[in-house]
Amino acid sequence: MINRIILWLPQLLNGAKMTIIITVISVSIGLILAVFLALGKMSRHKLLSAPCSAYIFFFRGTPLLMQIYFIYFGLPQLHAALTIRSAFVAALIAYVLNTAAYLAENIRAGIQSIDKGQFEAAKALGFSYGKTMRLIIIPQTVRRLIPPVGNEFIMVLKDVSLVAIIGLTDLTKVTRAISSSTGTALVYIPAMILYLIITAFFTFIFNKMEKRYSVYE
């Protein structure tokens, strides 16, 4: 068994690398997009709030699997110019768009949890809305967002296994390939252990950040 694990390990590690790359990039870009979506949804202008609300509703209300399928296989059928030839890029787009929708709601809730008196105080001091958000509200919201962002990161990490449907060799795809070629399901043991190690590592990082910066102590 040990010899088999040693033999499988290089392939499993390459798959794990792909899983981590997609997760980190998706959550990082998704978090930036989520800020604008959250602020847009909270806007008093319907022309801004309505599209943002619709976006969040759509991506939270439809399965991620279907979103990946549509972006990679469906868009080319709408128009050839929409073809995404790279499965990696298609997967990133799907995960960024999906993650942004979920994080946007977390950000909106975080902003709305800030005492309204701070908005009023900033207004009394002559701060514009943008300046109030940038200098007062957003910095406080960031501290409250560490736990939900950490949870979303771990969820995305596990959901990346869906990229196997468009041929990307993430950890799950590699595990299935090894299982099929060797005729044994024992490869799932080291694969699950790898997932646990990766999850434990990033959970540790977010817990450290929460203890250092979070308001929830």
CA 140 remoteness from chain centre? 21
> For the chain, what's the residue count?
217
pLDDT in tens, 189-208: 999 999 999 999 999 999 98
Q: Residue 93 and residue 163: Cα distance in Å, rounded?
A: 12
Give the per-residue pLDDT at 214. Answer: 57
Give the per-residue pLDDT at 138. Answer: 77
pLDDT, mean of residues 5-20: 91
| Listed residue (152, 156, 174) closest to 17, CA to CA | 174
102-134 in b/e form (b: 16+ CB < 10 A) is bbbbbbbebbeeeeeeebeebeeeebeeeebbe
pTM, two decimal places: 0.87
pLDDT in tens, 103-112: 999 999 888 8
Above 50 in pLDDT, residue 167? Answer: yes
pLDDT in tens, 110-123: 888 777 777 778 77
Burial class (CB in 10 A: 0-12, 13-18, 19+), 216: exposed
